[in-house]
Amino acid sequence: MHRRHPAAPTRGVHLTSLIAAMITALTGVLIAVLAYVLNQRGELRRSKRQAHLDRINAQLRDLYGPLLVLIEANERTWDAFRERHLTSREERRRAGGLTEEQNLRWRRWVLTVLVPTARQMRDVVLAHGDLFIEDEIPQVVLDFCAHVSSYEVTVVEWEAGEDGDVLVRHPGEGLVTYIRDAYRSLKAAQAEVLRAQE
């Protein structure tokens, strides 16, 4: 009589179990690797968003915020001075310029209010010029800094009793518009990044 070997069927079951265990283990490893990769990508995105938010915060805090406050203060001061102490531009042209009293008052305001504020603005630009939105410092800002520098000479001439004149004119409304628009744009970008983090 011929006997069957009892291990034959067990071997097939054991091999099947081994393959199933290997597939389960490989699936677990693949899931772990995929989870790690996705987690790293998410972390990288979060890190980039945080770096972007940090830059926007620095731009608002150190550059555009101070510039906006200073320029708004100068604009209000200039408007108040002009309304109270100056005749219209047309009248001044007809009269050949400022009267002696207007000229003295103008110099006093320039020396005590307008120039100190302009110097603060220039100092903010010098200290934080790397925070401009653009790749280079905007021309209107450079023109303003040149205006402030040219006023330094005028102030010295006035203090010496001379009739100094400002060689580089203030860039005017272009500077005000640039700073206001840049500040608003950064505030909108900041809000967008904060919403994305929620």
DSSP 39-83: HHHHHHHHHHHHHHHHHHHHIIIIIIHHHHHHHHHHHHHHHHHHH
Give the residue among 67, 83, 103 at the shortest CA–CA distance from 182. Answer: 67
CB 121 within 8 A of CB 148: yes
CA distance 128 to 66: 11
- Given a cut of 50, the residues of the chain with pLDDT beneath it are none
Query: What is the H or E stretch that residue 193 is in?
Result: helix 173-197
Tell me the three state secondary structure of residue 169.
coil
pLDDT for res 98: 73
What are the start-end ranges of the E strands in the chain?
none
Q: What share of the chain is helix, strand, coil (3-state, %, to 5)?
A: 85, 0, 15
pLDDT for res 180: 97
Q: Which amino acid is at 197?
A: Q
Give the residue among 150, 60, 138 at the shortest CA–CA distance from 110. Answer: 150
pLDDT for res 38: 81
CA distance 64 to 84: 30
Q: What is the pTM of this model?
A: 0.74
CB 118 within 8 A of CB 152: no
